[in-house]
């Protein structure tokens, strides 16, 4: 019985250690708007997301979830993504197990 208990404790410790080794980063990038049109806004968001994804890849993070988009001023758009090296369960943040599903359903997750 003692051997079984020790074995189960060792498995638990190994399982916790593997979960604790996950890497997570919040990446925020900006892009300039060429004018005030909807097309310009969409292009700036695409550029900012592409820059954030390149940053995630450079850090070895293969999972990216869009966290937010905001217009900083009349000429700048900011994009924030959560990047991780582990695949989380659908609707769960790899950082704290929090839901990443917004009320409006606008969050996007992609594997690189």
DSSP 65-112: EEEEEEEEETTEEEEEEEEESSPPPTTB-TTTS-B---TT----EEE-
Return d(Cα 89, Cα 110) in angstroms, integer: 13
Residue 100 pLDDT: 44
Assign 59 a pLDDT band (cuts: 50, 70, 90): very high
Residue 92 pLDDT: 52
Phi, psi of 109 (to 5 degrees): -130, 140
The percent of residues in the chain predicted with pLDDT above 70, rounded, is: 60
27-31, 43-47, 86-90: which range is least confident on average? 86-90
Round the average pLDDT of the chain to a whole number and report it: 76
Cβ burial, residue 27 (10 Å; 0-12/13-18/19+): buried
pLDDT at residue 50 tops 60: yes
CATH class of the 23-111 domain in this structure: alpha beta
pLDDT tens digit string along 22-41? 889 999 999 999 998 999 99
Residue 8 pLDDT: 61
The percent of residues in the chain predicted with pLDDT above 90, rounded, is: 49
pLDDT at residue 110 tops 90: no
Cβ burial, residue 109 (10 Å; 0-12/13-18/19+): middle
Coil/strand/helix, residue 16: helix
Assigned token pair, 106:
């606008």
Assigned token pair, 46:
């695409």
Residue 26 pLDDT: 94
């Amino acid at each position: 019985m003692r051997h079984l208990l020790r074995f189960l404790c060792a498995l638990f410790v190994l399982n916790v250690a593997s979960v604790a080794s996950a890497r997570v980063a919040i990446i925020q990038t900006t892009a300039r708007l060429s004018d005030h049109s909807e097309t310009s806004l969409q292009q700036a968001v695409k550029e900012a997301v592409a820059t954030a994804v390149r940053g995630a890849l450079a850090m070895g993070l293969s999972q990216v979830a869009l966290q937010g988009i905001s217009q900083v001023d009349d000429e700048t758009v900011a994009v924030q993504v959560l990047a991780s090296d582990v695949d989380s369960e659908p609707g769960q943040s790899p950082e704290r197990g929090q839901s990443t599903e917004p009320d409006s359903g606008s969050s996007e997750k992609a594997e690189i």
